[in-house]
Structure 1
Amino acid sequence: MKRFLRDNGLSLCMLAIFLAALIGQSFAGWAANNEELVEHSQPIIGYGDFVSSSAFLVDVAENWQSEFLQFFVFIFATIWLIQRGSPESKKPGDQGLGTDEEQMVGEHAKPASPLWAKVRGFRGWLYGNSLLITMGAIFFLSWFAQSLGGMVEMNEENAEHGVAPLDWIGYVSSPDFWNRTLQNWQSEFLAVGAMVAFTIYLRQRGSSESKPVGTPHATSSEEAE
Structure 2
Amino acid sequence: MKDPRLPSALRDNSLSIGFGVLLLLALIGQAFAGVAQYNLEARTAGLAEIGLWRYVTSSTFAVDVAENWQSEYLQFTLYILLTVWLVQRGSSESKPPEEAGSEDDAKEMVGEFAQPDSPESAKVGGWRTGVYSVSLTLVMFTIFVLSWAAQAVAGRVAYNEERMRDLLDPLSLGDYLLQPEFWNRTLQNWQSELLAVGSMAIFAVFLRQRSSPESKPVGMPHDETPSS
With structure 1 as the length reference, what TM-score do the two structures score?
A: 0.97
Alpha-carbon separation, structure 2, partners of 1:2 and 1:220: 36
Query: Per-residue CA shift, 1:159-190, capped at 9, x if unaligned?
Result: 11121211111111111111111111111000
Query: Per-residue CA shift, 1:112-164, capped at 9, x if unaligned?
Result: 10110101122111111110001100000000000111101111111111212
2:224 to 207, 219, 225: 219
Alpha-carbon separation, structure 1, partners of 2:96 and 2:164: 56
Which is worse superposed, 101-110 or 22-31? Answer: 22-31
- How do 1:80-95 and structure 2 match up within 5 A? 80-95=85-100
The residue that corresponds to 2:124 in the other structure is 119
- How do 1:74-223 and structure 2 match up within 5 A? 74-222=79-227
CA RMSD, Structure 1 to Structure 2 (Å): 1.1
1:10 to 6, 15, 40: 15
Listed as ranges, the gaps of 5+ residues in structure 1 are: none
Alpha-carbon separation, structure 2, partners of 1:190 and 1:135: 19
The residue that corresponds to 1:62 in the other structure is 67
2:25 to 7, 11, 20: 20
Listed as ranges, the gaps of 5+ residues in structure 2 are: 1-5
Runs of 4+ with >4 A deviation = none
Alpha-carbon separation, structure 2, partners of 1:47 and 1:121: 51
The residue that corresponds to 1:35 in the other structure is 40
The amino acid across from 1:117 in the alignment is A
Which is worse superposed, 31-40 or 82-91? Answer: 31-40
Which is worse superposed, 99-108 or 32-41? Answer: 32-41
